[in-house]
Amino acid sequence: MPQELYLGLMSGTSLDGADAALVAIDGQHFELLHTHYQPYPGELRSALLALHDAGVNELDRAARLANQLSTFYADTVHALLLKSGTASRSVRAAACHGQTIRHQPAAGYTIQLFNPALLAELTGITVIADFRSRDIAAGGQGAPLVPAFHRAAFGHSQEARVVANIGGIANLTVLYPDGRVSGFDSGPGNALLDGWIERHRGSRYDHNGDWAAQGKVLAGLYQRLTNHPFFDRPHPKSAGREDFNLAWLAGLLEGNEGAADVQRTLVELTAYGIASACKRLPLEQARVFLCGGGAHNAALRAAIQAQLPGCSLQLTDDLGIAADWVEAVAFAWLGRQCLAGEAGNIPAVTGARGPRILGAIYPA
């Protein structure tokens, strides 16, 4: 089978920007060739955050933002192609996740904002979009979708492995030696941490968890946070900003907490979601591999390790894909699955009635 180039574009719940990965795929074999990260301009990010809540004229705002996002994505694509010396005509397709602004699988819908037709027009590349809706139409959660890729990239016949992706929301993939896969969102990842430090210190994220490390865990707040019913909900399950947000956090504060102490407690909350899920798995021993932006947070890694003292904690770098780029590569792979007419979901993970081909195709 000839090698083809695919481009994966991922912008997650953290709302920090877009990751772009150029991937060579030959059947089920792939190679990450080049990457590019482009941060959201402040005005665009603020407008996207505001759209997460119902508001005045939101249909018009959403349509205009979809076009702005598509122009931003096109700039990201062109930057990656220029950096890699690749012509757009050489790329089989660009698979773009879009920016999630609503995720309501129980109501039968999810919205990942952007205008794929405009992106195809601006780049001259076939665009594949809307990966989650087909799974939801089949009764699934529409998330997480990366476990099928994790199986292809990280599965091993001799050992069980857990891949913990810590984006705005954290999700786990469990890869069993016999090829079985389970996966689900475990709770908040970086979204609360990023929102809290931005509110109090004006930073988009807590570099290396340094600010959190200055605080202490507030036992009462931690108890109230971990009482969220999501943690005891059986999987398949997925989460979003609808479940974990600063308004929810504010309702649990007494008002006299130190800001750094709250940040440290939120670190412990993210660690709890991941660790408690791992403890419930039917595994005697497994290595846990971290990816996503939260994998670089030293305070968070230490908190996870403290809650999972018997587990080996590593980065997916040790499996051949740097932690920052796993999701972008995953969507390039999902784009290939779509064009090849092969399923991209795992029903045992999402709860869908069966395997489904994911994505809508917008030809160049």
69-120 pLDDT, tens digit each:
999 999 999 999 999 999 999 999 999 999 999 999 999 999 999 999 999 9
Q: What is the pLDDT of residue 18?
A: 97
Q: Which two tokens stand for residue 86?
A: 């690749």
Q: Which two tokens stand for residue 16?
A: 């920090």
11-68 pLDDT, tens digit each:
988 888 999 999 999 977 899 999 999 999 999 999 999 998 888 899 999 999 999 9
Q: In angstroms, what CA-CA distances link 173 with 45, 100, 184, 232?
A: 29, 21, 7, 18
Burial 15-54 (b: 16+ CB within 10 A, else e): bbbbbbbbbebeeeebebeebbbbebeeebbebbeebbee
Q: Could you check whether 4-142+323-362 and 147-319 share the same CATH topology?
A: yes
Q: Which two tokens stand for residue 50?
A: 């505001």
What predicted TM-score, i.e. pTM, was given to this entire model?
Answer: 0.93
183-232 pLDDT, tens digit each:
999 999 999 999 999 999 999 999 999 999 999 999 999 999 999 999 99
Q: What residue spans define the domains of the chain? A: 4-142+323-362, 147-319
Q: Is there a contact between 340 and 361 (Cβ–Cβ < 8 Å)?
A: no
Residues in the chain: 364
Q: What is the Cα–Cα distance from 3 to 21, expressed in whole angstroms? A: 16
Q: What is the pLDDT of residue 1?
A: 58
Overall fold of domain 4-142+323-362: Nucleotidyltransferase; domain 5 (3.30.420)
147-319: CATH, from 3.30.420.40, 3.40.50.720, 3.30.70.380, 3.30.2350.10: 3.30.420.40
Q: What is the Cα–Cα distance from 215 to 299, expressed in whole angstroms? A: 11
Residue 140 identity: G
Strand order across the 360-362 sheet:
29-39, 17-26, 4-10, 91-96, 127-129, 360-362
225-273 pLDDT, tens digit each:
999 999 999 988 999 888 999 999 999 999 999 999 999 999 999 999 9
Q: What is the Cα–Cα distance from 74 to 47, expressed in whole angstroms? A: 19
Angle, vertex CA 234, rays to CA 229 and CA 235, nearest 5: 120
